[in-house]
Amino acid sequence: MHAPFLKSGLRYVLRPVLLRMFRVRVTYNASTTALLRSGEPCILACNHVSLLDGIIVALASPVPLAFAVDTEYSRGAGATTRFLQLLAWLGFGKIIPTDATAPFGVRTLLTELTRGGRVMVFPEGRISETGERGLDQPGVKWLADRSGVAVAELQIRGAEQSRLFAKNGSAMWPRIRISF
C-alpha cells in the first residue's frame, strides 16, 4: 500500500471519529464549501477562542489547509508540536510557523497562496479572553491585499467554555460548533 493512499485513508477514517470525540458539530455554508473545493487559493479566517481551534478547523475542513501557527507551538511546545506534526503527516494540513515580530511566516503564507494553496489564519493573533472576536492584526489584511484571493469567515462557538483548552472555561468537555 502506498503512503499517500494510506494517509488519505487514515484522514478519511479519523476525521469523523475525532470530530465526535471532541464533540464538534460542523455546519457548512454552500459558498465556503464551493470555494474550498474549487481548487482556487483562498484565506480562511476564524475567531480564536481556545487551543483546540486549529485542530477543530483541520478536522472539519473538507480539504487540507496551510495553517499559520505561532512559532512557540509549531516548533517548541513538546507534545503540542508533535501532535501538530502528526496531523500534518496524516494529511490534515501544513504547518507554517509565524511570528508577530518577523515577516517570514506571513511571506511563506503568501507564497502558499500564489502556489494555489488554501491558508487558515486566526486574524486576532491570540486567544480571545471573552470568546468574542477581537481586533484583527494587520498581517491578514496585508496577506489578502497582496494575494488578491477571497477571504472566507469561519466561526467557532463552545470551545471557549473548555476548562482544559480555553482561558476562562468552566466545562470539562463542552459541545463545540463550527460554521464554515
Q: What is the maximum alpha-carbon separation in the chain?
A: 47
Whose CA is closest to 121, among 67, 166, 157, 85? 67
Tally of CB atoms within 10 A around 68: 26
- Asked if 159 and 176 count as a contact pair (C-beta separation under 8 A), the reply is yes
Q: Which helix (H) or strand (E) holds 151?
A: strand 150-157
2 is catalytic: no
- Report the b/e string of 17-41 with b at 16+ CB within 10 A: ebbeebebebeeeeebeebbeeeeb
Quote the CA–CA distance of 120 and 84 in Å, as a whole number.
14
What is the spatial distance between Cα 88 and Cα 98, in angstroms, rounded to a whole number? 16
Catalytic residue chosen out of the listed positions 15, 48, 118, 133: 48
Cα–Cα dist 112/116, whole Å: 7
Catalytic residue numbers, as ranges: 48
